[in-house]
Chain A
Amino acid sequence: MQCALYGLLIFAVSHSAHAEWELNLTEGVTEISRDVYDMHMFVLWICVWIGVVVFGAMIYSMIKHRKSKGVKPATFSHSTMAEIVWTVIPFAILVTMAVPAAKTLIEMEDTSDSDITVKITGHQWKWEYEYLDSGVKFISSLHPDSREAAVLDSGIDPNSVDNYLLEVDNPLVLPVGKKIRFVLTASDVIHAWWVPEFAIKKDAIPGFINEMWTKIDEEGVYRGQCAELCGRDHGFMPIVVHATSESEYNDWISAQMAAAEAEAQSADREWAMDELMTRGEKVYGTYCVACHQPNGQGLQGVFPSLVGTEMSLNDLDGHIDVVLNGKAGTAMQAFSAQLNDADLAAVITYERNAWGNDTGDVIQPSTIKAVRVQ
């Protein structure tokens, strides 16, 4: 059995190019990831060879030294020489592994001389990216197609969804050939940002800043996932990175800055109910639906309902307050920093008029702006 499994493993490491039945670590697209891959293979082969020797001796012994063959048991029971040998040799093997590992580790932790810095903030259950050099900032969450399919009894076959659970609405865009430094933090619980092709993974911890870096060699789309249990939708906050040429990256940054400018101006005008409801539904579908559910009724005992409650029918000030500032000690986070005035006004308007709440309340972006000033 073990032999067969080891055979399988050896087969695995030599035939690893299939998308399905994928068996081995990716080589990735950075210098570090290739170092990591090489070290992974080096240690794996050391383990395989030790396994061959030790299990080989065991299997030989099991075949040859059995009572049914009429052998008489030997009487030896210790050998100081043997003990020394099998202490010293493993130690020497460990040293040959430790030296390159230490070297790679030192490189991985050197975040100096970076070209671009991106701040990553983990939220339950989405990622926020902020380019500290240009101020471009957005939220990246699970793509609506995956979100719709990833519901109990959704009736949608995950195989029919493009990049099921590994696609986002707004991917992170990074230029190739530049040293990119990430600073990581979180707003609620601990998350971890991981893209296997870059071979970097680090926790995003509320109240603390962590650092890591990468330098991507090839253009392409790279996907990863949150790698620290962060609550109900831990499995539903993927990471997608579009690595582009430097000029494409610069164009993209300019477009983002222009869009942000236009968005800021729209907050000052008067919005119609329909407009707010349409936008509110979209915001709700991205930020709120994971907990409060598509029908607004939450999950009994875990996430509160928004349907027909005192807050959503009468207490408008309380409603605005909890959306902006969150509720301490629960999964309800403060959205004031994540969403702009128009989004907040829209989602609150939506929540007060959807699912039969029908209060008729219309909340303007200017109202939110006024609350923020207080």
Chain B
Amino acid sequence: MNAYAVDHSHDDHHDHGPPPGLMRWVTTTNHKDIGTLYLWFSLIMFFIGGLMALVIRTELFQPGLQIVDPHFFNQMTTLHALVMIFGVIMPAFVGLANWMLPMMVGAPDMALPRMNNWSFWILPFGFSIMLSTLFMEGGGPASGWTIYPPLVLQTGDALPYLIFSIHILGVSSIMGAINIIATIMNLRAPGMTYMKMPLFVWTWFITAYLLIAVMPVLAGAVTMLLTDKFFGTSFFDAAGGGDPVMFQHIFWFFGHPEVYILILPAFGIVSEIIPTFSRKKLFGYTSMVYATASIAFLSFIVWAHHMFTVGMPLAGEMFFMFSTMLIAVPTGVKVFNWVSTMWKGAMTFETPMLFALGFVIMFTIGGFSGLMLAMTPIDFQYHDTYFVVAHFHYVLVPGAVFAIVGGVYYWLPKWTGNMYDEKLGKAHFWLSTIFVNILFFPMHFVGLAGMPRRIPDYAVQFTDFNQVATIGAFGFGFAQILLLVVVVKCIRGGEKATDQVWEGAHGLEWTVASPAPYHTFSPQPVVK
């Protein structure tokens, strides 16, 4: 599929650069600038959300209450999740999409550049509103990121601000998704048929549809909370004829596709990196596309596995158990395809490859615990314990975050024109991998031993593994400073990158100069 031929014969294009100064970033409609903004925003939020995690882990270092009140602890768990999901992983994926999708499909820019600017710039405002609740009377939201009523309705002044900020984040995501779909459908270079698109483009294409389908559902759910609290409705209040469990159904109808929104683009990134450093084409391209689509479809019919303990009818529990188990099939196909891509390749292990391999192994561990959680009768033991915390952190941190970081290392030379510091990059990978396992693996054990999640204090028999996890948390947190160092160093200078950057790289983005010119393709390339 990678038979690209780019016509550079009349390269006399009008490569006018960006306007100087701060206004460049405020008014920009350039996909690269906006991608950069998204990625920096995501990195800043990563450190904010990480600090919250460290507050949590510090309090949990030993039994008893040492540093924070339980009410503040609950605010930390709630905001840590909201920041990491909506402020880190999603914006990072959108940032990578902004940078790479137009270059990968041979487009000059995103299809809707002005909307692109807006969909980024409302994000900082949304998060300012959300985080400002920490300084309000009664503090921030403390009901968990799942904001279940009736508990969330006990939130003080923060509730309407939380809901408004979720609306803003939703609007931003939907606009981003529309833009991505419009770009992929309309701006592909001649010859770039759907089944020739790089897998990162495919996974984002499908993710964008998921976003458009479910973000309005979340917006509806939180609006119903708003009217229940302030306008006398009783959607979720049994005393008024409503049903608190209905909220959970609506929430997880959003929430489960959301889980795949957080992982499908990661699959795409890893599917770009592994072939490059194996010097071999991606194995089973077609089945990868179909597996992604199957996972996306299944994500709409498994939501109630998040709520097996609410007291569903037996038939409902059976249905959601079986449908959830089915997800293991297409996910397995992906893992087998990645391993087959590596098989009989000629591998090298630069930092992006290390992160991609770490992703495959540790995401699979998260998949295993996911399979265990899918089994309803045993889920009753795991549900709402640290086993669940271990599960979703395995798929989200050494899963999604590792893929994003791998993607950053992979494309950084293309963005800056300089190679990053390979030694520091490798150090970053190894420190992250060691500490992320010290952090999250013991959570399986305390969860199985009976420690519930979202508690600020615990019985003394859980002490040992919690101390190990806290040590891992600080190690992992401080290791991320290396990422910042590598990125800043790479922007400032370093060994010049070639156009192709990596020996085994194929695709349109590797045919343009490094750093990529401000306006990538003029004229349009032709894919043969």
Contact = CB atoms under 8 A, between A and B. Distances in A.
B494 interface: no
Nearest to B449: A22
Interface string A181-204: 000100011101010100111110
A40 B376 CA distance: 11
A151 B456 CA distance: 11
A58 B357 contact: yes
Nearest to B325: A94
A217 B490 CA distance: 65
A106 B385 contact: no
A36 B381 contact: yes
B331 to A, nearest CB: 9
23 contacts: A51-B365, A55-B364, A57-B339, A57-B343, A62-B347, A65-B342, A66-B348, A71-B344, A90-B329, A97-B375, A105-B317, A108-B380, A190-B244, A200-B380, A201-B381, A201-B383, A205-B311, A206-B244, A210-B311, A229-B144, A230-B151, A232-B71, A331-B154
B368 A47 contact: yes
Interface string B459-471: 1111111000000
Lowest 7 A-B CB distances belong to which pairs? A207-B238, A235-B455, A301-B137, A210-B311, A22-B449, A47-B368, A301-B138
Contacts of B384: 192, 194, 201, 227-229
Interface in B343-392: 343-349, 357, 360-362, 364-365, 368-369, 371-372, 375-378, 380-381, 383-385
A127 B278 CA distance: 58
Contacts of A330: 154
A152 B163 CA distance: 31
Most B CB within 10 A of own CB, among A20, A154, A202, A235:
A235
Interface residues of B, number: 109
**Interface size class of chain A, counting residues whose CB lies under 8 Å from the partner chain:** 35 or more
B70 A164 contact: no
Interface of B: 62-66, 68-71, 74, 136-139, 142-144, 148, 150-151, 153-154, 156-157, 229, 237-239, 243-245, 278-287, 309-311, 314, 317-318, 321-322, 325-326, 328-329, 332-333, 335-336, 339-340, 342-349, 357, 360-362, 364-365, 368-369, 371-372, 375-378, 380-381, 383-385, 433-434, 437, 441, 444-446, 448-450, 452, 454-465
A222 to B, nearest CB: 11
A156 B64 contact: yes
Contacts of B71: 232, 299, 302
Interface in A149-164: 149-154, 156-159, 163-164
By secondary structure, the B interface counts as helix
A141 to B, nearest CB: 16
Given A47-B368, A47-B371, A102 B318 contact: yes
Contacts of A61: 339, 342-345, 347
Contact of A234 (B284, B455, B465): B455
Nearest to A197: B450
Nearest to A71: B346
Interface string A20-38: 1111111000000001100
A325 B463 CA distance: 40
Contact of B346 (A36, A65, A153, A229): A65
Contacts of A79: 283-284, 340
Contacts of A205: 238, 244-245, 310-311
B342 A206 contact: no
Interface in A73-91: 73-79, 82-83, 86-87, 90-91
A55 B361 contact: yes
Given A109-B314, A163-B459, A331-B154, A235 B437 contact: no
Given A51-B368, A232-B142, A91 B329 contact: yes
Contacts of A165: 63, 457-459
Nearest to A165: B459
Interface of A: 1-2, 5, 8-9, 12, 19-26, 35-36, 39-40, 43-44, 47, 50-51, 54-55, 57-58, 61-62, 65-68, 71-79, 82-83, 86-87, 90-91, 94, 97-98, 101-102, 104-106, 108-109, 149-154, 156-159, 163-166, 184, 188-190, 192, 194, 196, 199-203, 205-208, 210-211, 224-236, 299-302, 329-331
Most A CB within 10 A of own CB, among B137, B283, B340:
B340
Given A47-B368, A164-B460, A152 B339 contact: no
B245 A39 contact: no
B283 A203 contact: no
Contacts, number: 320
Contact of B434 (A1, A152, A159, A228): A1
Nearest to B318: A102
Given A47-B372, A73-B278, A101-B321, 6 more contacts: A22-B445, A43-B371, A66-B346, A102-B321, A105-B377, A299-B69
Given A12-B445, A206-B150, A211 B311 contact: yes
Contacts of A55: 361, 364
Contact of A5 (B281, B311, B441): B441
A36 B377 contact: yes
Most A CB within 10 A of own CB, among B280, B381, B384:
B381
B346 A189 contact: no
Nearest to A3: B361
Contacts of A2: 361-362, 365, 437
A13 to B, nearest CB: 10
B377 A39 contact: yes
A91 B332 CA distance: 10
Contacts of B371: 43, 47
B344 A50 contact: no
B450 A196 contact: yes
Given A65-B345, A77-B280, A98-B322, A150 B372 contact: no
A187 to B, nearest CB: 10
A25 B62 CA distance: 22
Contacts of B460: 158-159, 164
B348 A159 contact: no
B380 A152 contact: no
B378 A39 contact: yes
